[in-house]
Structure 1
Protein backbone atom coordinates (compact mmCIF):
# COMPACT_ATOMS: atom_id res chain seq x y z
CA UNK A 1 0.00 0.00 0.00
CA UNK A 2 1.40 3.38 -1.05
CA UNK A 3 2.15 5.80 1.79
CA UNK A 4 -0.10 8.85 1.83
CA UNK A 5 2.00 12.04 2.00
CA UNK A 6 1.55 14.45 4.90
CA UNK A 7 1.97 17.41 2.51
CA UNK A 8 1.17 17.44 -1.19
CA UNK A 9 1.80 20.52 -3.33
CA UNK A 10 0.42 20.75 -6.88
CA UNK A 11 1.04 23.53 -9.41
CA UNK A 12 1.89 26.14 -6.76
CA UNK A 13 2.36 29.66 -8.13
CA UNK A 14 2.99 33.08 -6.62
CA UNK A 15 3.14 36.10 -8.92
CA UNK A 16 3.81 39.57 -7.48
CA UNK A 17 2.51 42.49 -9.57
CA UNK A 18 5.00 45.07 -10.88
CA UNK A 19 3.52 48.56 -10.76
CA UNK A 20 4.76 51.55 -12.73
CA UNK A 21 3.83 55.17 -13.20
CA UNK A 22 2.05 57.65 -10.92
CA UNK A 23 -1.22 55.69 -11.14
CA UNK A 24 0.44 52.44 -10.15
CA UNK A 25 -0.67 50.52 -13.22
CA UNK A 26 0.36 46.85 -13.29
CA UNK A 27 2.95 46.41 -16.05
CA UNK A 28 3.90 42.79 -15.37
CA UNK A 29 4.46 40.15 -12.72
CA UNK A 30 7.45 38.75 -10.84
CA UNK A 31 7.08 34.96 -11.00
CA UNK A 32 8.55 34.17 -7.59
CA UNK A 33 7.14 30.62 -7.53
CA UNK A 34 6.08 29.20 -10.88
CA UNK A 35 4.26 25.84 -11.06
CA UNK A 36 5.98 23.95 -8.23
CA UNK A 37 4.82 20.42 -7.28
CA UNK A 38 6.21 18.04 -4.64
CA UNK A 39 5.18 15.92 -1.67
CA UNK A 40 6.56 15.25 1.82
CA UNK A 41 5.94 11.98 3.63
CA UNK A 42 5.38 11.81 7.37
CA UNK A 43 8.61 11.65 9.36
CA UNK A 44 10.95 12.63 6.52
CA UNK A 45 12.99 15.75 5.80
CA UNK A 46 12.73 17.43 2.42
CA UNK A 47 15.53 19.89 1.69
CA UNK A 48 14.92 22.76 -0.75
CA UNK A 49 18.05 24.42 -2.15
CA UNK A 50 18.97 27.03 -4.73
CA UNK A 51 20.54 30.46 -5.21
CA UNK A 52 19.20 33.56 -3.50
CA UNK A 53 16.03 34.74 -5.22
CA UNK A 54 15.03 31.33 -6.60
CA UNK A 55 11.77 31.24 -4.60
CA UNK A 56 12.71 28.95 -1.68
CA UNK A 57 11.55 31.22 1.15
CA UNK A 58 8.44 32.32 -0.76
CA UNK A 59 7.51 28.64 -1.12
CA UNK A 60 7.85 28.20 2.65
CA UNK A 61 5.60 31.18 3.33
CA UNK A 62 3.00 29.87 0.87
CA UNK A 63 2.93 26.53 2.71
CA UNK A 64 2.20 28.41 5.95
CA UNK A 65 -0.35 30.62 4.17
CA UNK A 66 1.63 33.67 5.29
CA UNK A 67 1.25 34.52 1.59
CA UNK A 68 -1.77 33.59 -0.51
CA UNK A 69 -0.90 31.60 -3.65
CA UNK A 70 -1.77 32.89 -7.12
CA UNK A 71 -2.66 29.34 -8.19
CA UNK A 72 -2.19 25.72 -7.13
CA UNK A 73 -3.14 23.54 -4.17
CA UNK A 74 -1.44 22.72 -0.86
CA UNK A 75 -2.89 19.60 0.76
CA UNK A 76 -1.87 19.14 4.38
CA UNK A 77 -3.05 15.97 6.08
CA UNK A 78 -5.60 15.47 3.29
CA UNK A 79 -7.03 19.01 3.50
CA UNK A 80 -6.48 21.75 0.89
CA UNK A 81 -5.38 24.69 3.05
CA UNK A 82 -5.52 27.21 0.18
CA UNK A 83 -9.34 27.23 0.42
CA UNK A 84 -9.55 27.71 4.20
CA UNK A 85 -10.72 30.89 5.93
CA UNK A 86 -8.37 32.73 8.29
CA UNK A 87 -10.05 31.17 11.34
CA UNK A 88 -9.81 27.68 9.85
CA UNK A 89 -6.19 28.27 8.91
CA UNK A 90 -5.37 29.38 12.45
CA UNK A 91 -6.42 25.93 13.70
CA UNK A 92 -4.26 24.21 11.07
CA UNK A 93 -1.23 26.25 12.15
CA UNK A 94 -1.15 24.28 15.40
CA UNK A 95 0.18 21.45 13.23
CA UNK A 96 2.43 23.56 10.94
CA UNK A 97 5.09 25.73 12.58
CA UNK A 98 8.04 27.70 11.23
CA UNK A 99 11.62 28.33 12.35
CA UNK A 100 12.87 31.60 10.86
CA UNK A 101 16.26 32.49 9.43
CA UNK A 102 17.29 35.37 11.67
CA UNK A 103 17.37 34.43 15.38
CA UNK A 104 17.88 38.11 16.25
CA UNK A 105 14.80 39.43 14.44
CA UNK A 106 12.38 36.55 15.06
CA UNK A 107 12.14 37.03 18.86
CA UNK A 108 10.34 40.04 20.36
CA UNK A 109 13.01 41.96 22.36
CA UNK A 110 10.37 43.36 24.76
CA UNK A 111 9.13 39.95 25.90
CA UNK A 112 10.75 37.48 28.27
CA UNK A 113 11.53 34.01 26.95
CA UNK A 114 8.64 32.60 29.01
CA UNK A 115 6.23 35.05 27.33
CA UNK A 116 7.62 34.25 23.86
CA UNK A 117 7.21 30.50 24.36
CA UNK A 118 3.77 30.81 25.96
CA UNK A 119 2.40 32.93 23.12
CA UNK A 120 1.57 30.04 20.70
CA UNK A 121 -0.29 28.27 23.53
CA UNK A 122 -2.24 31.45 24.40
CA UNK A 123 -3.13 32.11 20.72
CA UNK A 124 -4.45 28.58 20.27
CA UNK A 125 -6.09 28.38 23.69
CA UNK A 126 -3.98 25.44 24.82
CA UNK A 127 -3.48 24.55 28.51
CA UNK A 128 -3.94 26.52 31.74
CA UNK A 129 -1.46 29.13 33.01
CA UNK A 130 0.25 26.58 35.27
CA UNK A 131 0.45 23.99 32.49
CA UNK A 132 1.90 26.57 30.12
CA UNK A 133 4.67 27.42 32.57
CA UNK A 134 5.50 23.74 32.98
CA UNK A 135 5.61 23.31 29.21
CA UNK A 136 7.95 26.31 28.86
CA UNK A 137 10.40 24.72 31.32
CA UNK A 138 10.09 21.34 29.61
CA UNK A 139 10.87 22.60 26.11
CA UNK A 140 13.70 24.87 27.23
CA UNK A 141 15.38 21.77 28.62
CA UNK A 142 14.51 19.76 25.51
CA UNK A 143 16.46 22.22 23.30
CA UNK A 144 19.47 22.27 25.63
CA UNK A 145 18.74 25.34 27.77
CA UNK A 146 17.81 25.59 31.46
CA UNK A 147 14.44 26.41 33.01
CA UNK A 148 15.84 29.53 34.73
CA UNK A 149 16.43 31.03 31.26
CA UNK A 150 12.66 31.61 31.04
CA UNK A 151 12.97 34.88 32.98
CA UNK A 152 15.60 36.34 30.68
CA UNK A 153 15.20 38.43 27.52
CA UNK A 154 16.42 37.71 23.96
CA UNK A 155 19.35 40.19 24.10
CA UNK A 156 20.90 38.11 26.88
CA UNK A 157 21.46 35.11 24.58
CA UNK A 158 23.87 34.25 21.79
CA UNK A 159 22.69 33.59 18.23
CA UNK A 160 22.80 29.82 18.69
CA UNK A 161 20.83 30.02 21.94
CA UNK A 162 18.23 32.28 20.31
CA UNK A 163 17.73 29.80 17.51
CA UNK A 164 17.24 27.05 20.11
CA UNK A 165 14.53 29.25 21.65
CA UNK A 166 13.00 29.67 18.17
CA UNK A 167 12.94 25.88 17.79
CA UNK A 168 11.38 25.49 21.26
CA UNK A 169 8.67 28.00 20.28
CA UNK A 170 7.90 25.96 17.14
CA UNK A 171 7.55 22.80 19.25
CA UNK A 172 5.14 24.27 21.84
CA UNK A 173 1.96 23.29 19.95
CA UNK A 174 3.20 19.74 19.18
CA UNK A 175 3.20 20.28 15.40
CA UNK A 176 3.37 17.58 12.73
CA UNK A 177 5.32 19.70 10.22
CA UNK A 178 8.06 22.28 10.79
CA UNK A 179 9.20 24.56 7.96
CA UNK A 180 12.78 25.65 8.70
CA UNK A 181 13.74 28.66 6.56
CA UNK A 182 17.55 28.76 6.54
CA UNK A 183 17.66 28.12 10.32
CA UNK A 184 21.46 27.93 10.60
CA UNK A 185 22.71 30.34 7.91
CA UNK A 186 23.14 33.21 10.41
CA UNK A 187 25.12 31.05 12.87
CA UNK A 188 28.81 30.21 13.22
CA UNK A 189 29.86 26.94 11.58
CA UNK A 190 30.60 25.27 14.95
CA UNK A 191 27.13 26.23 16.22
CA UNK A 192 25.45 25.12 12.97
CA UNK A 193 26.39 21.48 13.61
CA UNK A 194 24.97 21.62 17.15
CA UNK A 195 21.65 23.05 15.96
CA UNK A 196 21.38 20.54 13.09
CA UNK A 197 22.08 17.61 15.43
CA UNK A 198 19.49 19.00 17.86
CA UNK A 199 16.89 19.17 15.06
CA UNK A 200 17.60 15.57 14.09
CA UNK A 201 17.26 14.40 17.70
CA UNK A 202 13.97 16.30 18.07
CA UNK A 203 12.67 14.78 14.84
CA UNK A 204 13.13 11.27 16.27
CA UNK A 205 11.77 12.17 19.70
CA UNK A 206 8.63 14.00 18.53
CA UNK A 207 8.10 12.25 15.16
CA UNK A 208 8.43 15.51 13.25
CA UNK A 209 8.38 16.15 9.51
CA UNK A 210 10.70 18.89 8.21
CA UNK A 211 10.92 21.09 5.16
CA UNK A 212 14.46 22.42 5.38
CA UNK A 213 15.16 25.47 3.20
CA UNK A 214 18.81 26.41 2.70
CA UNK A 215 21.42 27.55 0.19
CA UNK A 216 24.27 25.56 1.79
CA UNK A 217 24.36 22.19 0.03
CA UNK A 218 26.56 20.48 2.65
CA UNK A 219 24.09 21.44 5.40
CA UNK A 220 21.15 20.09 3.38
CA UNK A 221 22.96 16.81 2.72
CA UNK A 222 23.55 16.34 6.44
CA UNK A 223 19.90 16.58 7.44
CA UNK A 224 17.71 15.76 4.40
CA UNK A 225 16.19 12.47 3.21
CA UNK A 226 15.24 13.99 -0.15
CA UNK A 227 16.38 17.21 -1.83
CA UNK A 228 14.62 19.51 -4.29
CA UNK A 229 16.60 22.05 -6.34
CA UNK A 230 14.92 25.32 -7.34
CA UNK A 231 15.90 27.75 -10.07
CA UNK A 232 14.03 30.92 -11.03
CA UNK A 233 10.82 29.89 -9.26
CA UNK A 234 10.76 26.33 -10.63
CA UNK A 235 11.69 22.95 -9.17
CA UNK A 236 14.27 21.55 -11.62
CA UNK A 237 15.33 18.36 -9.82
CA UNK A 238 14.21 16.27 -6.85
CA UNK A 239 15.70 13.00 -5.59
CA UNK A 240 16.87 11.06 -2.56
CA UNK A 241 19.70 12.94 -0.87
CA UNK A 242 22.51 10.46 -1.61
CA UNK A 243 21.28 9.86 -5.15
CA UNK A 244 21.23 13.58 -5.90
CA UNK A 245 24.71 14.21 -4.49
CA UNK A 246 26.28 11.13 -6.11
CA UNK A 247 24.62 11.50 -9.52
CA UNK A 248 23.08 14.93 -10.19
CA UNK A 249 21.24 15.03 -13.52
CA UNK A 250 20.34 18.69 -14.09
CA UNK A 251 23.22 20.92 -15.34
CA UNK A 252 22.33 23.52 -12.70
CA UNK A 253 22.55 20.94 -9.88
CA UNK A 254 25.85 19.68 -11.29
CA UNK A 255 27.26 23.22 -11.22
CA UNK A 256 26.06 23.84 -7.66
CA UNK A 257 27.59 20.61 -6.37
CA UNK A 258 30.89 21.22 -8.16
CA UNK A 259 31.29 24.40 -6.07
CA UNK A 260 30.96 22.58 -2.71
CA UNK A 261 34.44 22.41 -1.09
CA UNK A 262 35.77 18.90 -0.34
CA UNK A 263 37.73 18.59 2.96
CA UNK A 264 40.66 16.82 1.28
CA UNK A 265 43.75 18.80 0.11
CA UNK A 266 44.67 16.09 -2.42
CA UNK A 267 41.23 15.98 -4.05
CA UNK A 268 40.89 18.22 -7.08
CA UNK A 269 37.30 18.90 -8.01
CA UNK A 270 36.67 20.35 -11.47
CA UNK A 271 34.33 23.26 -10.84
CA UNK A 272 31.62 23.97 -13.40
CA UNK A 273 31.37 27.73 -13.89
CA UNK A 274 27.87 28.99 -14.72
CA UNK A 275 28.12 31.81 -17.23
CA UNK A 276 25.94 34.93 -17.09
CA UNK A 277 23.48 36.20 -14.48
CA UNK A 278 20.15 34.92 -13.23
CA UNK A 279 17.41 36.23 -15.59
CA UNK A 280 14.92 38.78 -14.34
CA UNK A 281 11.99 36.86 -12.72
CA UNK A 282 9.69 39.62 -14.01
CA UNK A 283 10.76 38.70 -17.56
CA UNK A 284 11.86 35.04 -17.50
CA UNK A 285 13.23 33.43 -20.67
CA UNK A 286 11.01 31.25 -22.84
CA UNK A 287 11.41 27.49 -22.70
CA UNK A 288 13.74 26.12 -20.02
CA UNK A 289 14.47 28.84 -17.43
CA UNK A 290 18.14 27.73 -17.26
CA UNK A 291 18.84 27.71 -21.01
CA UNK A 292 20.45 31.19 -20.99
CA UNK A 293 23.27 29.86 -18.78
CA UNK A 294 23.34 26.15 -19.67
CA UNK A 295 26.44 24.65 -21.35
CA UNK A 296 24.29 21.89 -22.94
CA UNK A 297 21.67 24.17 -24.49
CA UNK A 298 19.74 22.76 -27.47
CA UNK A 299 17.23 24.39 -29.83
CA UNK A 300 14.28 22.85 -27.98
CA UNK A 301 15.45 24.37 -24.69
CA UNK A 302 14.73 27.89 -25.95
CA UNK A 303 11.13 27.08 -26.94
CA UNK A 304 9.69 24.23 -24.82
CA UNK A 305 9.61 24.25 -21.02
CA UNK A 306 10.76 20.82 -19.75
CA UNK A 307 8.42 18.94 -17.41
CA UNK A 308 9.63 17.58 -14.06
CA UNK A 309 9.49 13.83 -14.80
CA UNK A 310 10.85 10.78 -13.02
CA UNK A 311 13.87 9.58 -15.03
CA UNK A 312 15.07 7.02 -12.48
CA UNK A 313 13.40 5.45 -9.46
CA UNK A 314 12.73 8.35 -7.05
CA UNK A 315 14.76 10.80 -9.16
CA UNK A 316 12.90 13.47 -11.16
CA UNK A 317 14.46 16.15 -13.34
CA UNK A 318 13.16 18.89 -15.65
CA UNK A 319 15.68 18.77 -18.49
CA UNK A 320 15.47 17.99 -22.22
CA UNK A 321 18.79 16.10 -22.07
CA UNK A 322 16.90 13.18 -20.52
CA UNK A 323 13.69 13.59 -22.49
CA UNK A 324 13.10 10.79 -24.99
CA UNK A 325 10.34 12.92 -26.48
CA UNK A 326 12.77 15.81 -27.11
CA UNK A 327 13.71 14.52 -30.59
CA UNK A 328 10.07 14.36 -31.63
CA UNK A 329 9.41 17.83 -30.18
CA UNK A 330 12.34 19.25 -32.18
CA UNK A 331 10.96 17.75 -35.41
CA UNK A 332 7.53 19.23 -34.65
CA UNK A 333 9.10 22.64 -34.03
CA UNK A 334 11.08 22.45 -37.30
CA UNK A 335 7.94 21.40 -39.16
CA UNK A 336 5.94 24.34 -37.80
CA UNK A 337 8.53 26.90 -38.87
Structure 2
Protein backbone atom coordinates (compact mmCIF):
# COMPACT_ATOMS: atom_id res chain seq x y z
CA UNK A 1 0.00 0.00 0.00
CA UNK A 2 1.26 3.49 -0.84
CA UNK A 3 2.55 5.43 2.15
CA UNK A 4 0.67 8.62 1.13
CA UNK A 5 -2.79 8.26 -0.39
CA UNK A 6 -5.88 10.38 -0.98
CA UNK A 7 -9.43 9.09 -0.57
CA UNK A 8 -12.57 10.62 -2.06
CA UNK A 9 -15.51 8.65 -0.61
CA UNK A 10 -16.75 7.10 2.62
CA UNK A 11 -16.51 3.61 1.12
CA UNK A 12 -12.93 4.18 0.03
CA UNK A 13 -12.08 5.52 3.51
CA UNK A 14 -13.67 2.56 5.32
CA UNK A 15 -11.88 0.07 3.08
CA UNK A 16 -8.51 1.73 3.58
CA UNK A 17 -8.83 1.84 7.38
CA UNK A 18 -10.04 -1.76 7.45
CA UNK A 19 -7.17 -2.96 5.27
CA UNK A 20 -4.51 -1.12 7.26
CA UNK A 21 -4.76 -3.86 9.93
CA UNK A 22 -2.51 -3.33 12.91
CA UNK A 23 -0.38 -0.79 11.02
CA UNK A 24 -0.72 2.87 11.93
CA UNK A 25 -2.87 5.03 9.64
CA UNK A 26 -2.88 8.83 9.96
CA UNK A 27 -5.76 10.68 8.30
CA UNK A 28 -5.55 14.39 7.53
CA UNK A 29 -8.97 16.06 7.23
CA UNK A 30 -8.15 19.13 5.17
CA UNK A 31 -9.64 21.83 2.95
CA UNK A 32 -8.12 23.40 -0.18
CA UNK A 33 -9.10 26.92 0.95
CA UNK A 34 -7.05 26.71 4.19
CA UNK A 35 -3.34 27.55 3.68
CA UNK A 36 -2.38 25.79 6.92
CA UNK A 37 -3.74 22.55 5.44
CA UNK A 38 -1.43 22.86 2.43
CA UNK A 39 1.49 23.32 4.81
CA UNK A 40 0.50 20.23 6.79
CA UNK A 41 0.13 18.19 3.60
CA UNK A 42 3.81 18.94 2.95
CA UNK A 43 4.63 17.80 6.48
CA UNK A 44 2.68 14.60 5.82
CA UNK A 45 4.65 14.00 2.64
CA UNK A 46 7.94 14.31 4.52
CA UNK A 47 6.72 12.01 7.30
CA UNK A 48 5.65 9.46 4.68
CA UNK A 49 9.23 9.39 3.35
CA UNK A 50 10.59 8.72 6.86
CA UNK A 51 7.98 6.19 7.97
CA UNK A 52 7.18 3.84 5.13
CA UNK A 53 5.31 1.49 7.49
CA UNK A 54 2.70 4.18 8.20
CA UNK A 55 -0.20 4.92 5.87
CA UNK A 56 -0.76 8.68 5.58
CA UNK A 57 -4.16 9.63 4.20
CA UNK A 58 -5.53 12.90 2.82
CA UNK A 59 -9.31 13.38 2.99
CA UNK A 60 -11.03 16.63 1.98
CA UNK A 61 -13.39 17.22 4.93
CA UNK A 62 -16.16 19.03 3.06
CA UNK A 63 -16.10 16.61 0.10
CA UNK A 64 -16.88 13.59 2.30
CA UNK A 65 -19.23 15.07 4.95
CA UNK A 66 -20.50 11.70 6.22
CA UNK A 67 -17.01 10.77 7.40
CA UNK A 68 -16.38 14.25 8.84
CA UNK A 69 -19.66 14.16 10.78
CA UNK A 70 -19.04 10.61 12.04
CA UNK A 71 -15.74 11.64 13.60
CA UNK A 72 -16.93 15.13 14.65
CA UNK A 73 -14.52 17.00 12.40
CA UNK A 74 -15.54 20.62 12.92
CA UNK A 75 -12.40 22.45 11.79
CA UNK A 76 -9.36 21.90 9.62
CA UNK A 77 -6.69 20.71 9.75
CA UNK A 78 -7.59 17.75 11.99
CA UNK A 79 -5.64 14.49 12.19
CA UNK A 80 -7.02 11.13 13.31
CA UNK A 81 -4.86 8.11 14.12
CA UNK A 82 -6.14 4.59 13.47
CA UNK A 83 -4.93 1.10 14.30
CA UNK A 84 -6.84 -2.17 13.95
CA UNK A 85 -9.77 -0.19 12.46
CA UNK A 86 -10.08 1.79 15.72
CA UNK A 87 -9.45 5.49 16.27
CA UNK A 88 -6.68 5.73 18.86
CA UNK A 89 -5.75 9.42 18.88
CA UNK A 90 -6.58 12.85 17.52
CA UNK A 91 -4.80 16.13 16.83
CA UNK A 92 -6.62 19.38 16.08
CA UNK A 93 -4.78 22.19 14.33
CA UNK A 94 -1.60 22.78 12.34
CA UNK A 95 0.99 21.55 14.84
CA UNK A 96 3.79 19.89 12.86
CA UNK A 97 6.01 19.07 15.88
CA UNK A 98 3.07 17.52 17.75
CA UNK A 99 2.04 15.51 14.67
CA UNK A 100 5.58 14.17 14.34
CA UNK A 101 5.72 13.33 18.04
CA UNK A 102 2.40 11.46 17.96
CA UNK A 103 3.43 9.42 14.92
CA UNK A 104 6.67 8.44 16.62
CA UNK A 105 4.94 7.65 19.91
CA UNK A 106 2.34 5.39 18.32
CA UNK A 107 4.99 3.61 16.31
CA UNK A 108 7.11 2.96 19.41
CA UNK A 109 4.09 1.85 21.45
CA UNK A 110 3.46 -0.86 18.86
CA UNK A 111 6.74 -2.58 19.65
CA UNK A 112 7.42 -1.55 23.25
CA UNK A 113 4.54 -2.19 25.63
CA UNK A 114 4.13 0.54 28.23
CA UNK A 115 4.71 -0.56 31.81
CA UNK A 116 1.51 -0.63 33.81
CA UNK A 117 3.46 0.69 36.80
CA UNK A 118 4.84 3.68 34.92
CA UNK A 119 3.63 6.99 36.36
CA UNK A 120 2.20 9.57 33.95
CA UNK A 121 4.76 12.22 33.08
CA UNK A 122 4.44 15.62 34.71
CA UNK A 123 3.19 17.33 31.55
CA UNK A 124 0.40 14.75 31.29
CA UNK A 125 -0.86 15.73 34.74
CA UNK A 126 -1.06 19.33 33.60
CA UNK A 127 -2.92 18.27 30.47
CA UNK A 128 -5.36 16.12 32.45
CA UNK A 129 -6.08 18.98 34.82
CA UNK A 130 -6.89 21.25 31.86
CA UNK A 131 -9.19 18.63 30.34
CA UNK A 132 -11.00 18.04 33.63
CA UNK A 133 -11.56 21.78 34.02
CA UNK A 134 -12.50 22.37 30.36
CA UNK A 135 -16.19 22.68 31.30
CA UNK A 136 -18.22 22.88 34.55
CA UNK A 137 -19.34 19.26 33.99
CA UNK A 138 -16.88 16.99 32.15
CA UNK A 139 -17.63 13.39 31.25
CA UNK A 140 -14.81 11.06 30.23
CA UNK A 141 -16.49 8.24 28.36
CA UNK A 142 -16.14 5.65 25.62
CA UNK A 143 -17.36 7.27 22.43
CA UNK A 144 -19.39 10.46 22.23
CA UNK A 145 -22.81 11.44 23.66
CA UNK A 146 -24.22 10.91 20.16
CA UNK A 147 -22.52 7.51 19.75
CA UNK A 148 -21.61 5.91 23.10
CA UNK A 149 -19.41 2.87 22.61
CA UNK A 150 -20.26 0.97 25.78
CA UNK A 151 -23.40 0.35 27.83
CA UNK A 152 -22.14 2.19 30.92
CA UNK A 153 -21.35 5.32 28.89
CA UNK A 154 -24.76 5.13 27.21
CA UNK A 155 -26.51 4.91 30.58
CA UNK A 156 -24.68 7.84 32.15
CA UNK A 157 -25.32 10.03 29.08
CA UNK A 158 -29.01 9.13 29.35
CA UNK A 159 -29.13 10.15 33.01
CA UNK A 160 -27.40 13.47 32.38
CA UNK A 161 -29.67 14.25 29.43
CA UNK A 162 -32.80 13.29 31.39
CA UNK A 163 -31.78 15.77 34.08
CA UNK A 164 -31.00 18.40 31.42
CA UNK A 165 -27.46 18.69 32.72
CA UNK A 166 -25.13 20.45 30.32
CA UNK A 167 -21.83 18.65 30.01
CA UNK A 168 -18.82 18.36 27.79
CA UNK A 169 -17.28 15.00 27.02
CA UNK A 170 -13.97 13.43 26.06
CA UNK A 171 -13.71 10.17 24.14
CA UNK A 172 -11.07 8.17 26.00
CA UNK A 173 -10.76 5.87 22.95
CA UNK A 174 -9.31 8.86 21.08
CA UNK A 175 -6.25 9.18 23.32
CA UNK A 176 -4.65 6.19 25.02
CA UNK A 177 -2.37 8.46 27.06
CA UNK A 178 -5.36 10.24 28.61
CA UNK A 179 -7.22 6.96 29.06
CA UNK A 180 -4.46 5.35 31.12
CA UNK A 181 -3.24 8.52 32.79
CA UNK A 182 -6.65 9.52 34.12
CA UNK A 183 -6.97 6.23 36.01
CA UNK A 184 -3.87 7.09 38.01
CA UNK A 185 -4.59 10.81 38.25
CA UNK A 186 -8.04 10.28 39.75
CA UNK A 187 -7.34 6.93 41.42
CA UNK A 188 -10.44 5.61 39.67
CA UNK A 189 -9.82 2.51 37.52
CA UNK A 190 -12.90 2.46 35.26
CA UNK A 191 -14.87 4.60 32.83
CA UNK A 192 -17.06 6.60 32.50
CA UNK A 193 -15.88 9.24 34.95
CA UNK A 194 -17.82 12.43 35.72
CA UNK A 195 -16.12 15.58 37.00
CA UNK A 196 -17.84 18.72 38.28
CA UNK A 197 -15.87 21.94 38.84
CA UNK A 198 -12.66 19.95 38.39
CA UNK A 199 -13.50 17.39 41.09
CA UNK A 200 -14.25 13.71 40.49
CA UNK A 201 -17.87 12.79 41.22
CA UNK A 202 -17.53 9.14 40.23
CA UNK A 203 -18.77 6.60 37.74
CA UNK A 204 -22.14 5.30 36.66
CA UNK A 205 -23.19 3.78 40.01
CA UNK A 206 -22.53 6.98 41.95
CA UNK A 207 -24.28 9.12 39.34
CA UNK A 208 -27.29 6.78 39.54
CA UNK A 209 -27.39 7.17 43.33
CA UNK A 210 -27.12 10.95 43.09
CA UNK A 211 -29.92 11.05 40.51
CA UNK A 212 -32.20 8.94 42.70
CA UNK A 213 -31.51 11.08 45.79
CA UNK A 214 -32.01 14.37 43.94
CA UNK A 215 -28.43 15.46 44.64
CA UNK A 216 -27.36 15.40 41.00
CA UNK A 217 -29.25 18.58 40.13
CA UNK A 218 -27.71 20.37 43.12
CA UNK A 219 -24.20 19.35 42.10
CA UNK A 220 -24.68 20.93 38.65
CA UNK A 221 -26.49 24.17 39.56
CA UNK A 222 -25.78 25.98 36.29
CA UNK A 223 -27.48 23.36 34.19
CA UNK A 224 -31.04 24.49 34.85
CA UNK A 225 -30.24 28.10 33.92
CA UNK A 226 -28.58 27.23 30.63
CA UNK A 227 -31.82 26.40 28.81
CA UNK A 228 -33.10 29.91 29.51
CA UNK A 229 -29.86 31.40 28.27
CA UNK A 230 -29.90 29.31 25.08
CA UNK A 231 -33.54 30.22 24.46
CA UNK A 232 -32.67 33.90 24.79
CA UNK A 233 -29.67 33.54 22.46
CA UNK A 234 -31.60 31.68 19.75
CA UNK A 235 -34.23 34.43 19.89
CA UNK A 236 -31.74 37.32 19.99
CA UNK A 237 -32.47 38.08 16.32
CA UNK A 238 -35.06 36.83 13.85
CA UNK A 239 -32.26 34.95 12.06
CA UNK A 240 -29.45 33.67 14.32
CA UNK A 241 -26.42 31.73 13.12
CA UNK A 242 -24.28 29.81 15.62
CA UNK A 243 -20.95 29.27 13.92
CA UNK A 244 -17.19 29.07 14.30
CA UNK A 245 -16.07 32.66 13.90
CA UNK A 246 -18.25 35.64 13.01
CA UNK A 247 -19.61 37.60 10.06
CA UNK A 248 -16.21 39.11 9.39
CA UNK A 249 -14.15 35.90 9.61
CA UNK A 250 -15.37 32.32 9.53
CA UNK A 251 -13.06 29.84 11.28
CA UNK A 252 -14.10 26.69 9.42
CA UNK A 253 -15.16 25.87 5.89
CA UNK A 254 -18.71 24.87 6.82
CA UNK A 255 -19.28 28.22 8.56
CA UNK A 256 -17.74 30.08 5.61
CA UNK A 257 -20.10 28.38 3.17
CA UNK A 258 -23.25 29.10 5.15
CA UNK A 259 -22.19 32.74 5.58
CA UNK A 260 -21.84 33.09 1.80
CA UNK A 261 -25.34 31.67 1.30
CA UNK A 262 -26.93 33.94 3.90
CA UNK A 263 -25.10 37.01 2.60
CA UNK A 264 -26.38 36.27 -0.90
CA UNK A 265 -30.00 36.47 0.33
CA UNK A 266 -29.72 40.03 1.64
CA UNK A 267 -31.50 38.97 4.84
CA UNK A 268 -30.30 40.54 8.09
CA UNK A 269 -28.91 38.05 10.58
CA UNK A 270 -26.78 37.90 13.71
CA UNK A 271 -24.02 35.44 14.54
CA UNK A 272 -22.66 33.84 17.71
CA UNK A 273 -19.11 32.46 17.85
CA UNK A 274 -19.38 29.11 19.64
CA UNK A 275 -15.58 28.93 19.94
CA UNK A 276 -15.73 31.72 22.53
CA UNK A 277 -18.22 30.04 24.86
CA UNK A 278 -17.74 26.34 25.64
CA UNK A 279 -20.93 26.18 27.71
CA UNK A 280 -23.04 27.37 24.78
CA UNK A 281 -21.06 25.25 22.31
CA UNK A 282 -21.81 22.03 24.21
CA UNK A 283 -25.21 23.00 25.59
CA UNK A 284 -26.73 23.94 22.25
CA UNK A 285 -26.04 20.44 20.92
CA UNK A 286 -28.34 18.96 23.57
CA UNK A 287 -30.83 21.86 23.47
CA UNK A 288 -31.38 21.48 19.73
CA UNK A 289 -30.55 17.75 19.47
CA UNK A 290 -28.19 18.72 16.65
CA UNK A 291 -24.57 17.59 17.18
CA UNK A 292 -22.64 19.76 14.71
CA UNK A 293 -22.05 23.38 13.69
CA UNK A 294 -23.01 25.70 12.11
CA UNK A 295 -26.64 25.84 13.31
CA UNK A 296 -29.20 28.28 11.87
CA UNK A 297 -32.25 29.44 13.84
CA UNK A 298 -35.23 31.51 12.66
CA UNK A 299 -37.54 33.00 15.30
CA UNK A 300 -35.94 30.73 17.89
CA UNK A 301 -36.57 27.53 15.91
CA UNK A 302 -33.79 25.38 14.49
CA UNK A 303 -33.66 25.31 10.68
CA UNK A 304 -30.59 23.07 10.49
CA UNK A 305 -26.99 23.05 9.39
CA UNK A 306 -25.15 23.68 6.15
CA UNK A 307 -26.61 20.74 4.20
CA UNK A 308 -30.21 21.73 4.98
CA UNK A 309 -29.56 25.39 4.13
CA UNK A 310 -28.03 24.28 0.81
CA UNK A 311 -31.10 22.13 0.08
CA UNK A 312 -33.45 25.02 0.90
CA UNK A 313 -31.50 27.32 -1.42
CA UNK A 314 -31.54 24.80 -4.27
CA UNK A 315 -35.29 24.20 -3.88
CA UNK A 316 -36.09 27.92 -3.72
CA UNK A 317 -37.48 27.62 -0.19
CA UNK A 318 -34.73 29.46 1.66
CA UNK A 319 -36.33 32.91 1.42
CA UNK A 320 -39.54 31.71 3.07
CA UNK A 321 -37.61 29.68 5.63
CA UNK A 322 -35.65 32.78 6.69
CA UNK A 323 -38.97 34.55 7.24
CA UNK A 324 -40.26 31.65 9.34
CA UNK A 325 -42.90 30.84 6.72
CA UNK A 326 -42.02 27.23 5.93
What's the TM-score once normalised by structure 2's chain length? 0.29
Which structure has the higher relative contact order (CA within 8 Å, separation 6+)? 1
Under a length normalisation based on structure 1, what TM-score does the superposition of the two structures give? 0.28
